[in-house]
Amino acid sequence: MKIIRLMVVLVGFATPALAETQVRITKDIASVTVETRSGPVEISRIQDSDHEVSGEWARTSRPCPEFCIQPISPAPGVTTIGELELIAMLQDPEAVVVDSRTPDWFQGGTIPGAVNIPYTYVLDELGQMGCEPDFDGWDCSDAKRVALFCNGIWCGQSPTAIGNMIEAGFPVDRIFYYRGGMQVWRMLGLTVTGGE
């Protein structure tokens, strides 16, 4: 009888700890910390199992054109990645993660550690991605690994930016496309910085 009471007490103490880490990034990773321009930010998932995506992010249908479903790969040679690969790039100080959306979208919330280079200005900002200006435009022989994302699988801003980067001479094997974008990032309950 005393043993049964002890087990009940131990289970009572263990339950809150399990609840805190129940929603993890992976089985082995509860959270990661990434460096941002304003200091370190912890990326984790929302712990409320009843949480739902709402507002703009819950919309499933937008008129096409202009919001057409994007291909898995925006250009031959570009690698499409998921959340775990993007998180790894966020932790790599030699990689750049680019939120290619317009500033109003960026200010409404972004992935921690991403820099905002709107798709319309990507060619002006290749220096942030390791390219050097030269007489013919840009020398991207020392380009960094760059991941780009926008609002989701129906958003053409990243594919447009990627196409422009390739045309300017950025090496395709250094470009990564997070196709899921903000919609899937939010759907998975991952940390968002900035406005909500």
> Mind listing the pLDDT tens digit for each residue in 70-120?
999 999 999 999 999 999 999 999 999 999 999 999 999 999 999 999 999
Q: What is the DSSP string of 33-80?
A: EEEETTEEEEE-B---TT----GGGG-----TTTSPPPPS-SSTTPEE
CB 71 within 8 A of CB 12: no
> Mind listing the pLDDT tens digit for each residue in 17-73?
444 568 999 999 999 999 999 999 999 999 999 999 998 899 889 899 999 999 999
Average pLDDT over residues 166-195: 96
Average pLDDT over residues 151-171: 97
Return the CATH fold of 2-187: Oxidized Rhodanese; domain 1 (3.40.250)
**Domain regions of the chain by residue span:** 2-187
Helix/strand/coil percentages in the chain, nearest 5: 35, 20, 45
Q: pTM for this structure?
A: 0.88
CB 86 within 8 A of CB 181: no
Residue 1 has pLDDT above 60, yes or no: no
Average pLDDT over residues 187-194: 96
Residue 3 has pLDDT above 90, yes or no: no
- The type of residue at 176 is F
Give residue 146's pLDDT band: very low, low, confident or very high (50, 70, 90).
Answer: very high
